């Protein structure tokens, strides 16, 4: 029902509107692209259900429409596929007209249908918004309604909700406030402090003029130090003094090229320091190169396995190749990297399914604990799934954002629709993870679920790490 009501409820978008012929042409292009080349259109949503949704939306393309109106018609339609790597993005022209002050001047965290302040931005106009403050209303609209509306335009693997809430905090919340509800900064908030006081607050990002002074030229050593700091934010490891014989390995995204050398240092340290407990923190790992996770797995496996059961595309040619945005050569769909299967699909033979063998010298046989959250997605969730299926790992936190049974991905393209210039993030391969668990459309579930409270956020606690240490100490 929501799709039918969207157009009438939207505020005016930017000036450009598209003719009936243009929007219908782009819609046919979109539908053909999804039905012909998407690897998992019917993985979670039956074809007849998608057919009805397509037809319902097409009936509303009977008058000129703005990009904003089209976005709020097509985004929930695409989200119905239940694929976390398939989603709609505004055109470059639309985003170029966005006001940078539209962002909420604080980091937020969603718990259920509630929104809490996690950390203030340095330019926040109201510095009294302490960590753990709940946002009850924005411009008299209940936050529960804003969150529920935003979720309907967010993608996820299967029936997952934790990943949606991560995306809301990332940018979808402001997008919904600005474009769907027509609310702009300054935002008029009704807030509830951690101790219970309810009051009003007006927030915006203060403009702080930057002095017009030339930036000093960095030395080679200073550049290297900055690069090292950035790398350490992506991956690091340390021994935990509060838990004997325990090492914490943090992987905040699989986007570092030195993963083999890094992993070797980690497990060499485990060997020399006689570590018995390994904690792998994947809570802020939205994915990247699956090779990073595969290499970690090799140190923990007791026998060889395949990482994926499938890495398959329904096509070996893209009719929409000319609409794919420019990308590095190794990030483009390449028919030469495919092999036709007896079932008519095409398997990727480059960067596809890999045979993983245990590391010959530095195998770790101690206890593994894995910290997970809704941010744990794509390659991060794939590693979590394989760890759960093939090691003794104990999981702590929240359901992963990525599906335990796999995802559509492996390689994604940005496809620009011909007339409207709206962009579709489009995955090319169906990756089924080598796990014994039946695929029920959910992420990896924790053995020890962690449910945050406002007090946890206010105090800056780390309940997942605390639980791991508690289990290690046998408390």
Following DSSP, what letter does each residue of 6-47 receive, concatenated? HHHHPPP--S-EE-HHHHHHHHHHHHHHHHHH-TTTTSSS-H
Report the distance separating Cα 41 and Cα 408, nearest Å: 10
> What is the C-alpha to C-alpha distance for residues 404 and 376, in angstroms, rounded to an integer?
11
Neighbours of 99 (CB within 10 A): 10
Model pLDDT, residue 210: 67
Find all residues with CB under 8 Å of 294, minimum gap 6, and list them.
307, 354, 356, 383
Please give the torsion angle defined by the CA atoms of residues 412, 414, 419 and 421, in that order, rounded to the nearest 10 degrees: 150
- Residue ranges of the chain whose pLDDT lies below 70: 1-15, 100-101, 208-210, 475
- Tokens 């780390």 map to which residue? 462
For the record, the structure tokens of 376 come out as 């744990």
The pLDDT of residue 15: 58
Q: How many helices (H) and strands (E) does the chain have?
A: 14, 22
Contacts of residue 395, Cβ cutoff 8 Å, sequence gap at least 6: 369, 370, 372, 384, 388, 444, 445, 446, 447, 448
Give the pLDDT confidence score for residue 10 in this predicted structure.
52
Amino acid 419: pLDDT: 98
Q: What is the pTM of this model?
A: 0.93
Q: How many whole angstroms separate alpha carbon 12 and alpha carbon 363?
A: 60
Q: What is the pLDDT of residues 228-281, one digit of tens each?
A: 999 999 999 999 999 999 999 999 999 999 999 999 999 999 999 999 999 999
């Amino acid at each position: 029902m929501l799709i039918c009501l969207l157009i009438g409820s939207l505020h005016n978008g930017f000036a450009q509107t598209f003719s009936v012929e243009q929007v219908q042409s782009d819609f046919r292009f979109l539908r053909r692209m999804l039905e012909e080349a998407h690897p998992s259109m019917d993985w979670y949503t039956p074809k007849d259900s998608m057919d009805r949704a397509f037809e319902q939306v097409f009936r509303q393309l009977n008058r000129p429409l703005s990009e904003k109106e089209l976005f709020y018609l097509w985004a929930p339609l695409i989200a119905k596929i239940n694929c976390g790597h398939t989603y709609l993005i505004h055109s470059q022209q639309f985003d170029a007209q966005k006001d940078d002050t539209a962002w909420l001047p604080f980091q937020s965290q969603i718990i259920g249908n509630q929104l809490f302040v996690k950390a203030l931005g340095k330019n926040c106009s109201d510095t009294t918004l302490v960590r753990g403050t709940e946002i009850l209303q924005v411009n008299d609209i209940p936050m529960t309604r804003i969150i529920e509306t935003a979720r309907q335009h967010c993608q996820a693997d299967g029936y997952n909700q934790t990943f949606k809430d991560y995306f809301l905090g990332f940018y979808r919340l402001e997008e919904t406030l600005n474009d769907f509800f027509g609310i702009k900064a300054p935002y008029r908030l009704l807030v509830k402090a951690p101790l219970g006081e309810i009051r009003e607050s007006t927030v915006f990002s203060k403009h702080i003029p930057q002095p017009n002074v030339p930036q000093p030229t960095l030395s080679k050593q200073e550049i290297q130090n900055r690069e090292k700091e950035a790398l350490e934010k992506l991956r690091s490891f340390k021994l935990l003094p509060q838990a004997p014989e325990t090492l914490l390995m943090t992987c905040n995204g699989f986007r570092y090229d030195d993963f083999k050398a890094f992993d070797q240092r980690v497990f060499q340290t485990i060997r020399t320091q006689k570590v018995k407990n390994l904690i792998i923190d994947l809570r802020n790992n939205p994915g990247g190169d699956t090779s990073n996770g595969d290499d970690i797995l090799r140190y923990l496996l007791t026998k060889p396995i395949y990482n994926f059961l499938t890495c398959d595309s329904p096509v070996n040619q893209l009719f929409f190749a000319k609409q794919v945005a420019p990308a590095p050569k190794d990030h483009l769909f390449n028919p030469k990297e495919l092999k036709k299967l007896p079932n008519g699909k095409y398997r990727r033979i480059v960067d596809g399914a890999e045979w993983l063998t245990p590391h010959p010298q530095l195998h770790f046989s101690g206890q593994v604990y894995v910290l997970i959250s809704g941010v744990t997605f794509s390659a991060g969730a794939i590693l979590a799934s394989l760890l759960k299926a093939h090691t003794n790992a104990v999981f702590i936190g929240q359901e992963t954002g990525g599906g335990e049974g796999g995802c559509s991905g492996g390689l994604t393209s940005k496809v620009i629709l011909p007339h409207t210039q709206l962009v579709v993030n489009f995955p090319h391969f169906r990756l089924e993870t080598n796990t014994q668990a039946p695929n029920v459309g959910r992420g990896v579930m924790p053995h020890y679920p962690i449910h945050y409270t406002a007090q946890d956020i206010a105090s800056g606690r780390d309940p997942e790490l605390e639980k791991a240490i508690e289990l290690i100490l046998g408390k």
